[in-house]
């Protein structure tokens, strides 16, 4: 029972922090995007370092250890590049996200025809969803302000939803404990 009380408070605090983070993202979208850029840079550094160490330690057992080493060193290089100028990284993020959305949309569009061959009655939803994804990706990549707004808006909405859900969980746990 004591553990449930701790979990309840953690869920409530996490929910409040996430909602606060959502307000920050909506109030300071450029700073939020720079924060994401820094996070990506730190993540690439960490991944690159662990991959490099793994390749060196597994040299005798890993068949393609040189490729793993090269991938790790490239991740470290990109991590340093992203961290050296987070504002430039933040500015290029809409292009990367928009391109990813367009590629995903094309894949969804093509997959719809495979679904049609397999007899899926809702195959046409893939065509619509894929086409819309391509259009949204195009809009994001060709207007940096739209791209930044889209990315930060979805971040803020995601944080707000996660925060609300955590608060609801915290209150639901109170009724379970009582």
pLDDT for the residue 143: 87
Q: In the structure encoding, which two tokens stand for residue 141, read together?
A: 């990549």
**Domain membership of residue 66 as a residue range:** 2-177
CB 12 within 8 A of CB 166: yes
Q: φ and ψ at 37, to 5 degrees?
A: -60, -45
pLDDT for the residue 1: 57
pLDDT for the residue 100: 85
Residues of the chain short of pLDDT 70, as ranges, are 1-2, 178
> How many domains is the chain built from?
1
This prediction's pTM: 0.65
The tens digit of pLDDT for each residue in 104-140 reads 999 999 989 888 998 888 899 999 999 999 999 998 8
| Cα dihedral sign, 15-19-22-28 | negative
Q: In the structure encoding, which two tokens stand for residue 123, read together?
A: 């195959």
Q: In the structure encoding, which two tokens stand for residue 24, read together?
A: 């920050």
Query: How far, rounded to the nearest angstrom, does the alpha carbon of residue 113 sit from its chain's CA centroid?
Result: 28
Helix runs in the chain, H state only = 2-27, 29-57, 65-84, 86-117, 123-142, 144-177
Could you give the CA distance from residue 169 to residue 13 in angstroms, rounded to a whole number?
A: 11
pLDDT for the residue 127: 94
CB 5 within 8 A of CB 178: no
pLDDT for the residue 138: 92
């Amino acid at each position: 029972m004591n553990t449930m009380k701790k979990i309840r408070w953690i869920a409530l605090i996490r929910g409040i922090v996430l909602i606060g983070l959502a307000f920050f993202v909506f109030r300071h979208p450029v700073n939020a995007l720079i924060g994401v850029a820094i996070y990506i840079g730190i993540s690439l550094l960490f991944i690159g370092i662990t991959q490099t160490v793994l390749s060196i330690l597994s040299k005798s057992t890993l068949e393609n250890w040189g490729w793993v080493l090269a991938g790790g060193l490239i991740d470290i290089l990109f991590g340093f590049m992203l961290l050296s100028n987070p504002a430039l990284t933040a500015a290029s993020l809409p292009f990367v996200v928009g391109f990813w959305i367009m590629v995903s949309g094309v894949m969804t569009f093509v997959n719809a025809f495979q679904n049609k061959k397999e007899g899926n009655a809702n195959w046409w939803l893939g065509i619509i969803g894929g086409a819309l994804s391509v259009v949204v990706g195009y809009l994001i990549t060709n207007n940096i302000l739209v791209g930044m707004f889209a990315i930060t808006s979805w971040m803020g909405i995601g944080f707000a939803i996660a925060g609300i859900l955590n608060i609801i969980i915290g209150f639901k746990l109170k009724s379970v404990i009582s």
